[in-house]
């Protein structure tokens, strides 16, 4: 019952973000004048803005980014920036633990640097390629739900239909997080015991833990770090990979499963590299 309630609360916390993003997508599609140009979502500052947004300790932003990406309103680089920067509840745990407080700012700095660097790198690498189609915000021709909306009232168009879509996504998220919640709850000791292998192997494990779409993964990573169970690089790797609910939304689109799996593998690889690099710096400075 405790796991059930936690998963329900996690879903309720992200539901407002899902609803807002569906309403915004409808506005983008039917009120093109709402945004005069594409600087807000697709301009040169988009990956930076995505990174700074992701730093806020709230997993709802990764869900919002996933929906914007699905709608073709942001690039893969901006999506990666948000995912890498997202930490869910870990920052809150670090701030409230004396052993974690000194590492809050270094962690934020690492995540901002990683989000910006890899976000812009992805945009540069994929520029002009059809693998990541991005629709011009001010010239959107399609519809997010795949149907015409002629003759529908504003209430139905901008509230009822986004609400229905949001409820469907929320139910999907709840089902997935419930399954992983029970898996994590009954295997918590085994998962924590897996944090072995040294500073250059540990990020491989903590990044995998970070992929678990449940707030418990970020909490366990933060608590284990505060108790001295993992290195700072291991923590950074796990939290750079901690965009679980965003991944859940992406994986709902089975038609683009290869693309979505590639995004997950990319975030995992980036997180491992970040963790190894951070541990290397810490070792060189004598902090490990």
Domain boundaries, the chain: 2-285
Confirm if 275 and 200 have CB atoms less than 8 A apart.
Answer: no
Q: How far apart are CA 275 and CA 240, in angstroms?
A: 9
DSSP state of 288: -
Overall pTM surpassing 0.75 (yes/no): no
Residue 214 confidence class, pLDDT cut points 50, 70, 90: low
The H or E element containing residue 285 is: helix 257-285
Residue 182 confidence class, pLDDT cut points 50, 70, 90: confident
Residue 78 confidence class, pLDDT cut points 50, 70, 90: very high
Give the ranges where 86-214 is alpha helix by DSSP (H).
Answer: 90-95, 104-126, 154-155, 161-185, 188-193, 202-210
| Window from 63-67, 113-117, 173-177 with minimum mean pLDDT | 173-177
Task: Check residues 10 and 251 and name the one with the higher pLDDT.
Answer: 251
| Structure confidence at residue 197 (pLDDT) | 65
How large is the average pLDDT for residues 104-132?
A: 84
Q: How far apart are CA 41 and CA 64, in angstroms?
A: 12
Residue 110 confidence class, pLDDT cut points 50, 70, 90: very high
Beta strands in 16-102 (DSSP E): none
Distance of CA 30 to the CA centre of its chain: 27
Task: Check residues 9 and 272 and name the one with the higher pLDDT.
Answer: 272
Q: How far apart are CA 144 and CA 26, in angstroms?
A: 7
How large is the average pLDDT for residues 146-172?
A: 69
How large is the average pLDDT for residues 207-215?
A: 81
Q: How far apart are CA 166 and CA 144, in angstroms?
A: 12
| Structure confidence at residue 234 (pLDDT) | 92
What's the mean per-residue pLDDT of the chain?
Answer: 77
| Structure confidence at residue 134 (pLDDT) | 55
Q: How far apart are CA 107 and CA 197, in angstroms?
A: 22
| Window from 48-62, 87-101, 166-180, 272-286 with minimum mean pLDDT | 166-180
């Amino acid at each position: 019952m405790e796991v059930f309630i936690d998963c329900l609360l996690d879903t309720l916390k992200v539901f407002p973000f899902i609803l807002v993003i569906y309403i915004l997508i409808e506005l983008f599609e039917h009120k093109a004048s709402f945004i005069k140009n594409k600087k807000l979502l697709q301009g040169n500052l988009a990956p930076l803005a995505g990174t700074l947004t992701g730093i806020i300790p709230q997993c709802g932003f990764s869900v919002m980014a996933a929906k914007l990406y699905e709608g073709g309103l942001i690039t893969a680089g901006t999506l990666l920036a948000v995912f890498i920067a997202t930490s869910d509840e870990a920052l809150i745990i670090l701030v409230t633990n004396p052993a974690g407080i000194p590492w809050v700012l270094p962690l934020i700095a690492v995540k901002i640097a990683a989000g910006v660097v890899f976000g812009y790198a992805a945009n540069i690498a994929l520029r002009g390629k059809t693998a990541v189609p991005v629709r011009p915000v001010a010239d959107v021709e399609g519809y997010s739900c795949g149907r015409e909306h002629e003759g529908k009232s504003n209430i139905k168009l901008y509230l009822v239909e986004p609400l229905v879509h949001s409820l469907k996504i929320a139910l999907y998220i709840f089902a997935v997080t419930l399954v992983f919640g029970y898996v994590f709850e009954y295997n918590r000791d085994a998962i924590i015991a897996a944090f072995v292998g040294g500073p250059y192997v540990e990020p491989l494990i903590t990044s995998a833990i970070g992929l678990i779409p449940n707030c418990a993964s970020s909490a366990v990573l933060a608590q284990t770090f505060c108790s001295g169970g993992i290195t700072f690089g291991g923590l950074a790797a796990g939290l750079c990979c901690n965009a679980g609910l965003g991944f859940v939304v992406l994986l709902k689109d089975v038609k683009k499963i290869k693309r979505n799996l590639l995004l997950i593998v990319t975030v995992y690889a980036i997180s491992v590299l970040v963790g190894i690099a951070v541990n290397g710096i810490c070792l060189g400075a004598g902090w490990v």
